[in-house]
Structure 1
Amino acid sequence: MKRAEGSVALITGGGSGIGATAAARLAEIGCSVAINYSRNSAGAEAVAESCRLLGVNAITLKGNVASDADCRHMAEETVASLGRLDILVNCAGVTRRVPANDLDALSSDDFSAVNAVNVTGAFQMIRAAARHLKRSGAGTIINVSSDSGITGDGSSLSYAASKGALNTLTIGLARELAPEIRVNAICPGFVDTNWALAWQNSDSYEHFKRRVADIAPLKTIPSPDDVADMIEWLVVGARCVTGQLLVIDSGTHLTVGNPLP
């Protein structure tokens, strides 16, 4: 395993799910971590403590990425507390669950709320961190997007559109921030986290997981660890990779029609 000793990573949305797993993985390879949360302070602190047990420094940062002031504060506080900033993982995200064929159920406010976090929030966080990442000499930005941004499918059209915009932002910023900073996006399909339990009970969720795995060509669904594997690789093993949209979905994008209505 390659190491990233002495590096510092800031992970937005790091108190649970993919963000929490990413923080722990980066700590395992030697990164000190700043873990952002907006509401889940207990979850963020638990993640930070688990990272400290791995021998790295870890702090928690309360902030809403939809606020430019919060983004600037988090970047500055990371550097003030941990000494530098080398890696930014934009994992904070929200959705509005609305059937794609019910156009009247999706309001302009839904688009605004989703884009404020998923697109504007990611941009504001990158802008706040950019000068520190450039100073690193080998800065890395990883946007946790979604295959919804490629397929147009997902929890709602507003969510898919926001992830499509995040993918375009990734490509544009990879060009503009080179050569000091690499910018890539990971585009997971359905990942086995507690996120979907917000709109399903445990029985329907288990049925949903079995259905997705059955549809997927690889007959499995990604876990947060699978996404963290790719984040680790982009940090320590992808020196010549930038501007890429890396899909992790066990092949469900290869299926015909709408596999996940």
Structure 2
Amino acid sequence: MSEMSQLSSAQASEGNRRIPFPRSLHGKVALVMGGAGAIGAATSSLLAEHGAKVIVTHLSSERDTAAATKLVGELGSERCVALPADVADTASLLLLRQAIEANHSHIDILVNAAGYTIPVPHADLDALTDELIDAMFKVNWRGQYAAIRTFAPLLRASGDGLVVSLSSIAAFTGIGSSIAYCAAKAGIDVMTKALARVLAPDIRVLAVSPGVVDTQFVPGRGNDFNTKVAASTPLGRIGEAADIAAAIVACATMLNYSTGHIIQVDGGRAL
């Protein structure tokens, strides 16, 4: 073997040791915005299972506080802590950053799983009021951007930061709980591409785009809706929170050379 070939082999071996597949999350710090929700909780559990120290955020409501407390109880306080924050209130995000900085010099993973929706028939133009449009964008777009803006310094300090935002196939199908929700998720896709470009190489930015998921996220959707959607989905079922969590964790453990992309996890729903 030539000297050059030996050097290349040694470099390749060193690279394999430096970035194993799947990449270990042991010692990593993950911040899951909206950790009290179904997808946020499933993601937090899977991140902790893979060795990450997880910080979950929740609204200060009694319901969300109880859900976050339950999650910490299940995962254990050594692996998970819960802190209040509201993505629609940047002041609360800054307070959250201060609280995290008191115990950690950086974070490695930011998961944007906070969001909400109210179903409005697309044909009912008057029902989609200015107030509802503003609220939808405030939480589902501005809130995710504000979280990235707030925690970018801590992600840069990692040297290997990752942002995964929760989008939706509604962003490009135009079919979703409301036109405003579809538009906000389309904004997430654009934001993902733009921020991936400007935050590289220190921070990778990805989005996961589910189809219909079996949670209580959309008020009023029941078994009849789920059954109908499952029948028209190529893989024959609707998604589960665990499916989305697995995709998010894959962004951290397997997709190490990807940034600026939107990963569909929809069972072929958008085909």
TM-score between both structures, scaled by the size of structure 2: 0.88
Contact 1:214/1:220 (8 A) holds in 2: yes
* 2:5 match: none
Q: Is 1:75 aligned with 2:92?
A: no
Question: Contact between 1:21 and 1:225, CA under 8 Å: does it hold in 2?
Answer: yes
Deviation of 1:2 (Å): 4.4
Give the number of aligned pairs: 247
Q: Distance in 2 between matches of 1:47 and 1:83?
A: 24
TM-score by length of 1: 0.91
Residue 82 of structure 1: CA displacement? 4.2
CA offset at residue 177 of structure 1? 0.3
1:3 equivalent to 2:24? Answer yes
Q: CA deviation at 1:100?
A: 0.6
What's 1:215 paired with? 232
Partner of 2:54: 33
Residue 118 of structure 1 and its aligned partner are, at CA, apart by 0.8
Q: Deviations over 1:26-63 (max 9, x none)?
A: 0001111111011210101111222227xx43211111
Matched, 1:48 2:72: yes
Distance in 2, Cα, partners of 1:21 & 1:79: 25
2:82 paired residue number: 60
**How far, CA to CA, are the matches of 2:246 and 2:79 in structure 1?**
21
SS in 2 for 1:133: helix
Question: Partners of 1:52 and 1:80 in 2: how far apart?
Answer: 20
**Which residue pairs with 1:240 in the alignment?**
257
Give matches, 1:49-198, under 5 Å: 49-52=73-76, 56-196=78-218, 198=219
Q: 1:229 aligns with which of 240, 246, 260?
A: 246
> What is the CA–CA distance in structure 2 between the aligned matches of 1:212 and 1:74, rounded to whole Å?
39
Structure 2 equivalent of residue 23 of structure 1: 44
Deviation per residue, 1:193-231 (Å, 9 max, x gap): 1223x324xxxx112111111000111111111111111
Q: What SS class does the counterpart of residue 253 from structure 1 fall into?
A: coil
Per-residue Cα deviation, 1:146-179 (whole angstroms, up to 9, x for no partner): 1111111100001101001111111100001000
Instruction: Say whether the 8 Å CA contact 2:117–2:217 is kept in structure 1.
Output: no
Q: Take 1:243 and 1:223, find their aligned partners in 2: how far apart are those partners?
A: 24
**Alignment RMSD (CA, Å):** 1.3
- Structure 1: runs of 5+ lacking an equivalent: 255-261
Contact 2:105 / 2:157 at 8 angstroms: preserved in 1?
no
Q: Which has the larger radius of gyration?
A: 2
Gaps in structure 2 of 5+ consecutive residues: 1-21
